[in-house]
Structure 1
Amino acid sequence: MTRFILLFIAGAALLALGIVIGWQLPPSPPPDATPPERTGSDVPIRSRGIGQPTYRSGPFRVGVAVEPAAPQVGENRLKVVLEDRKGNPVSGAQIRAVAEMPAMGAMPAMQAPAEMQEIEPGLYQGTFDLPMEGSWPLTLAISASGMADRQISFDMATGRAGLQLTSGATRIDGSGEATLEEAPPGTVTLDARRRQLIGVETAEAKLVEMVRTIRAVGRVIYDETRLTDVSLKFDAWIGKLYVNYLGAKVQKGQPLFTVYGPELLAAQQEYLEIKRRAGRSDVTQALLEAARKRLSLWDMTPGEIAALERRDVPYDYVPIHAPRSGTVVAKNVVEGTAQQAGATLLRIADLSRVWVEAEVYEAELPLVGEGMKAEIHLPYLPDQRFQGVVDYVYPYLEGQSRTGRIRITLANPNGVLKPDMYAEVKLKAELGQRLTVPEEAVIIAGETRVVFEDLGGGRLAPRLVQTGQQANGLMEILSGLESGDRVVTSGNFLIAAESRLKAGIQQW
């Protein structure tokens, strides 16, 4: 009896609980009623069975998923949801989907296309077969009536879950706003771990005052404006030679050697004869001046002519004096030799000032101008630096070396700089404010110049740039970047290799 009462009480309690739950539930719709239709942006792409993020590409909102989530060797299913900007399904679109393993060495490229069919408005599905393991970048080419064609690329690999957007679209948040700018083809996406393994470093493109250092090899030579040759204006024989070795120091007016010449002797006799007749007529005075002028032009000094007048007898040997102070750098005379008129007997150079001629490469020559400051260093004088100014740029090139010559004038009061010494010349060309990046950021491939811009979100996009001057570890950017853009400076060659593989584009 007691057991029966307990079972009755338990049944009554369950009945009461069921009645309470029934009151809390909404009423069921009639059997023939249809639920309200949800269209447009009320139907998010994620609700259509695609768990991948939503992307925006031009006029489209796109969702992409692969089944299984980690692609495998063999058959895989690809689903694509296509909507317009308002979230309405896009029907009748043509989608060309191809997974392609790029060529590697002797192995040609392999393609795994998926024939996409629209199975319901805005939802497309197809299958593709992967013949082997590896990286299979996936490309979607979307074409719809009245809308711009788009191409989207993803990074896909067997055994790795999910797809990674590389280019052609941008990820959007729940509000439909783009979270990142759209990446160009060839963009590589690296997570923090892979960036650290590769050693990726970045730097900012900046406007800086660019100064280029031009280095050139130079040679010390004589200042040609301070060279003087000693020669005779008449045939003669050399008597006493006072300067009888190369390198001898001479002072202006110092006797160099004596000469005997029949013409000089006759000129002295003629002068003395006219002198004796001086004062008799104006004609005779004019002749006297002409005879004196002749002796002067033949390098007899006024003192020697005055001594001749006092002596009243011609000199057999007449001294020839130094026309300037300097050093004898060439000597073509010895005592007793006969010399013809016009022959160079001695060359005297004033070495208190010298020239340095430097060879500048043709590409750098436009940066060099007269008045530019120069620093000269000689390997044999490591503790000394000489400051000078470019005073002349020669108007021609050396044909074989394709270099242009410049001239720098240097003071040399102590004679430290000697002709034919080699010198290292350093010029600084101020180029003004230029947009620059570190030179290691630029990848050079033939005539093409490429940098990788850090777009954020782990994305590194290739940018074709035009470069200009290069100086002090910086490269000028003429086009392709703006101030403030961040570029990859380390690890970019590995990124470049991966970018070519992912994008399947032509070689740079």
Structure 2
Amino acid sequence: MQRMLLAALAFGLVLAYSAFAGSGMGFKALDPSVPFNTTRTIRVQLVDGSGKPVAETVAGASVRVDMSPDAMADMTADAKIVKSETSGVVTVQTNLYAPGRWAVILKGTVNGKPVTGSVVVTATRKSAEAASPPPATAAGKSRKILYYRNPMGLADTSPVPKKDAMGMAYVPVYADEVQKVRGAVRLTTEKIQRAGVRTTPVTRASLASSIRATGIVAADESRQAILSARFTGFVEKLYVSQTGDVVRAGQPLMRVWVESPELLVKEADYIGSLQSGAADHAAVAANLLRQYGVAQSELNAMAKSGVPTRSVTFVAPAGGTVMEKPVVQGMHFATGDTLFKTTDLSRVWVLADVSERDLASVRVGQTATVSFRNEPSASFEGKVLFVYPQLDSATRTAKVRIAVANKDGRLRLGQYADVRIAAPAAAMAALTIPASAVIDDGTRQIAFVAKGNGVFEPRTLKLGARGGNTVEVLSGLKEGEQVVTTGNFLIDAESNLQTALQTFGNGK
């Protein structure tokens, strides 16, 4: 029996003072309770197996602070050793950021022997939210407490003060904090400051919107040209032999050998008409040869020599960059074959994908600013030429054609672009608020109005056009009211919690 009592006593000492086998020493908290969310020092005393202080220095001390030794060892707080004294006192600096029980775990050596132990410190509330006697009102009367709510936001209330499993006190809900408007909340000054709440007035202003879209650079279809064969023959010589070359209108591209008997007959008819003096017929024949691609210089040469030519030079139908050149020297070609394709890239199109909801604001002739991700500091001005009549059923966007000058050739076909189209401002000033004041949950849009004395009231909004960081309010707010622009998501969470608790409480 005596042995059992001794064993129980030893076990109790282990729990109380965290003494560990091997060194026979542990630690005891000199500051068992400190305010939460404040950087503080916690003094811990080295003790022997019986709990008496030991006046020895803990060398090489290290510390770890965990949230609730019972259930949340993964939640830690920053901590460091400030001082280790010869009296055996170790001073730890930390910030216990939440109320409840915290484990301060220490390691070190005393006279070369390892010492490890932990002490439990309780972080308490020292704010208006603590479960303390109701503060007096201005008239000197105590505020009425309706119920106490769970400090961790769970849907659990109590008619009397109590603590949760972590030792955290339930928070009182006062009668003057329950607002008549459903979802309205009253916050303490401390809570408002901690949430960083900022407000701004509802104002009337002209709303000039900027429509944003992504796009891609494409060739201007009106500046493309194709040289195709109008008779059969062979390529004798290429004057422009590679794609990417820039050519001017009328520049020789290639010389071909005429295989087509039909073209030779027409050349003979042209020469015969000249020799017979049939000027009108000769003019018709010359015009027909031009349609086949015979240049005026070659017509003059045939008129002078009186002999049909079997060598014809093709020239560029328009200036631009050679985009396609399927021909090679010596190749045979047939009627209708594409020989060259050129595109004038001094002006290009940007095909922007504009959202369906923004299409009503896009007009032909509006100014657009185009920028590119490989050169974000540069921007190009353009004009809206055309709004395509069909929507993409998958993306719910429509193409908008924008003409952009590209004289220096910096823009390349297929390049991605960021587009901003300047939509006209509204004719009349609209009621506006910052876009940051709106909380959109997908089914409704709300904003919180500051009513004074820490009261915030939710308002359901009907929104109109957007202009940059500003949004038009069609209903739900009045000019001059103060809306919350920062910290509103925290207020919304508190509002939802209050609503749930009121519903839960009424259900009881």
1:235 maps to 2:250: no
Task: State how far apart, in whole Å, the 1-side matches of 2:316 and 2:330 are.
Answer: 19
Residue 488 (structure 1) aligned with residue 484 (structure 2): yes
Say whether the 8 Å CA contact 2:151–2:170 is kept in structure 1.
no
Aligned to 1:93: none
Write the letter of the residue equivalent to 1:476: E
Rounded to whole Å, the distance in 2 between the matches of 1:228 and 1:343 is 14
SS at match of 2:399: strand
**Alignment match, 1:296:** 290
Q: C-alpha deviations, 1:281-311, integer Å up to 9, x for none?
A: xxxx554343223212112233322221111
1:247 counterpart (244, 247, 265): 244
**CA-CA distance at 1:246 after TM superposition:** 0.9
Corresponding residue SS for 2:436: helix
Match of 1:457 among 453, 458, 462: 453
Residue in 1 aligned with 2:203?
206
State the distance in 2 between where 1:385 and 1:197 align. 42
Contact 1:352 1:411 in 2 (8 A): yes
Counterpart in the other structure of 1:412 = 406
**Equivalent position of 1:339 in the other structure:** 333
Give matches, 1:184-195, under 5 Å.
184-195=181-192
Q: State the one-letter code of the partner of 2:355.
A: Y
Stretches of structure 2 lacking an aligned partner (at least 5 in a row): 1-135, 164-168
Task: Report what 2:420 is aligned to.
Answer: 426
Distance 1:487 1:273 in 2: 92
Cα distance change on mapping 1:444 and 1:327 into 2, 3 Å = closer
Aligned residues: CA RMSD: 3.5
TM-score after normalising by structure 2: 0.62
Structure with bigger gyration radius: 1
> Residue 199 and residue 354 in structure 1: after superposition, are their counterparts in 2 closer, same or farther (change >3 A)?
closer
Specify the code of the residue in structure 1 equivalent to 2:220: D
C-alpha contact (below 8 Å) 2:143/2:176 kept by paired residues: no
Shift of 1:101: 7.2
How far has the Cα of 1:230 moved from its partner? Answer: 0.2
Q: Are 1:438 and 2:472 counterparts?
A: no
Deviation at 1:347, TM superposition (A): 0.7
Q: 2: distance between equivalents of 1:328 and 1:506? A: 74
Q: Which amino acid aligns with 2:459?
A: R
Are residues 300 and 486 of structure 1, via their aligned partners in 2, closer, same or farther at CA, if it must alter by over 3 Å? Answer: same
Whole-Å separation in 2 of the counterparts to 1:506 and 1:406:
51
CA-CA distance at 1:378 after TM superposition: 3.0
Matched, 1:167 2:179: yes
CA distance, structure 2, for counterparts of residue 381 and residue 495 of structure 1: 41
Tell me how far apart the structure 2 counterparts of residues 106 and 481 of structure 1 sit (CA, whole Å): 30
The Cα shift of 1:329 comes to 1.1
| 2:480 corresponds to 1:498 | no
Residues 221, 298 of structure 1: CA spacing in aligned structure 2 closer, same or farther, 3 A cutoff? Answer: same
How far apart are residue 219 of structure 1 and its match? 2.5
Taking the aligned partners of 1:70 and 1:361, their CA distance within structure 2 comes to 54
2:277 matched residue in structure 1:
278
Are the equivalent residues in 1 in contact too, given 2:351–2:400 (CA < 8 A)?
A: yes
Cα distance in 2 for residues equivalent to 1:303 and 1:214: 54
Give the structure-1-normalised TM-score: 0.62
Q: Give the 3 Å change call, closer, same or farther, for CA 371–158 of structure 1 in structure 2.
A: same
Deviations 1:156-195 (A, max 9, x none): x999697316434xxxxxxxxxxxxxxx233223344443
Letter of the structure 1 residue corresponding to residue 382 of structure 2: G
- Find the counterpart in structure 2 of residue 265 from structure 1: 264
**Does the 8 Å CA contact 1:268/1:314 hold for their aligned counterparts?**
yes
Aligned length: 360
Instruction: Tell me whether 1:371 sits opposite 2:365 in the alignment.
Output: yes
* Deviation for aligned residue 1:243: 1.4
Quickly say closer, same or farther: Cα 1:162–1:355, change in 2 above 3 A: closer
Corresponding residue to 2:315 among 321, 325, 339: 321
Secondary structure of the residue that 2:287 maps to in structure 1? Answer: helix
Where in structure 1 are there 5+ consecutive unaligned residues? 1-50, 55-65, 72-98, 112-129, 135-156, 169-183, 280-284
SS at match of 1:167: coil
CA distance in 2, matches of 1:351, 1:109: 70
| Aligned equivalents of 1:431, 1:335: Cα separation in 2 | 60
Shift of 1:227: 0.7
SS of the equivalent of 2:253 reads strand
1:343-364: CA deviation from partner (whole Å, max 9, x where unpaired): 1110122222222222223333
Q: Shift in Å at residue 435 of structure 1?
A: 1.8
Residue identity matched to 1:466: K
Shift of 1:132: 5.9
